[in-house]
Structure 1
């Protein structure tokens, strides 16, 4: 999905930009890295391109943030790890539904926010890859996802409504009468804040609501992002001007 306050891209251009951002990120993967593999259409481009490198001899291992990404990684031949104590990642690569100039993110449009935040918190470096529609001046137009314990849903909806979030339980695209469940069998709720003036404050308030397993605000996690602007891959770092990705031979 595309943020409503971002420029609308033709689907073909958007997909091309996603592949372009993924290609820029693959250049920075090195032999021996342990990788966190993200979820969503942009991350899928990265996984496929990484698989090509693996089949050509690149030695890496990874752990996926969703069952869908795990299946794709297996299909393209990326060796996968199991969760274990002490496991950290050299690099996590993932998309975002929105990101602002400080690299604060909204994630979870694909329903994998809990696993994504778990792996990306355990990573030494989080690199976001995104098409040009995802960069916004302020977060919030894209609905903020929550992962919610089913029993707690009514009270979570009440509490988020009081915060101005206009919460809507997510339904399956293939069956609009059926609830959408995460890989952990929790429900997803999409919150329509429109603007989030204080992401850090909202994150704290959401954490106090019983039944919310995780929220889709990813704050202080991303070290850099690759964004396609005017057809070129650009590197963004928090609060800094964009620089061409081609200037960097290693992670910025």
Structure 2
């Protein structure tokens, strides 16, 4: 079985569990396709066999977390910075299972008020930041360049050598597919964090137990 290995705090638990099952012999004959360098390093340290989309263009199952989940199982992902590789791997998967806690549930994407990331090339990033903010002006959007988080003013750089512009919405996005199309049409935009029509099921953990959401 070929598995897509997600990125982020939730996905890290999944990778740890896979490593444990492999080491005890409870699981075998799998190969993982990591969605980031840090997931690759984690999986390699656990002796999980790894490969790439070049060698395995069809993935049986991808498992990852999400930053927002709406009632249609559409998602915001990429606050961990791996949105491009996550989308490539998860789009190539026959099944895509999302694991999240109930704080990630929203009535509309962008509704949490937290970042919706857009990966952009470094060249003239300010130009694209201004254009992205203007695109969603009616939603009270504020666009910010993501910083490295090391106390400096250095921009965060993705595994692909790009920057991330984080969009913060005061109101939810009305039409995710239209928004995604408009963002993707901008020159210099590499990928956005709207994962639409991709998840096949979502496992939600809450105070009262675990809920399974399917289409």
TM-score range, shorter chain: over 0.9
1:52 maps to 20
Query: Aligned residues, how many?
Result: 206
1:216 to 172, 193, 198: 193
2:84 maps to 114
Unmatched segments (≥5 aa) in structure 2: none
1:23 maps to none
Give the TM-score of the pair, scaled to structure 1.
0.79
2:35 to 53, 65, 69: 65
* 1:134 aligns to 2:104 (yes or no): yes
Give 1:233 shift.
1.7
Q: Distance in 2 between matches of 1:134 and 1:176?
A: 29
The alignment partner of 1:84 has SS state of: coil
**RMSD of the alignment, in Å?**
1.2
Q: Distance in 2 between matches of 1:134 and 1:38?
A: 17
Give the TM-score of the pair, scaled to structure 2.
0.92
- Show the 5 A alignment for 1:27-106: 33-57=1-25, 58-59=27-28, 60-84=30-54, 87-106=57-76
Query: Deviations for 1:87-116, whole angstroms, at most 9, x for unmatched residues?
Result: 211000000000111011000100000000
The alignment partner of 2:124 has SS state of: helix
Q: Distance in 2 between matches of 1:50 and 1:208?
A: 38
Of the structure 1 ranges 228-237 and 70-79, higher mean CA displacement relative to structure 2 is found in: 228-237
2:207 to 215, 227, 230: 230
Give 1:83 shift.
3.2
Unmatched segments (≥5 aa) in structure 1: 1-32, 239-252
CA contact (8 A) 1:127 1:223 kept: yes
Show structure 1 runs of 4+ deviating over 2 A. none
Q: Distance in 2 between matches of 1:226 and 1:184?
A: 30
2:153 to 161, 177, 183: 177
Q: Distance in 1 between matches of 2:74 and 2:124?
A: 28
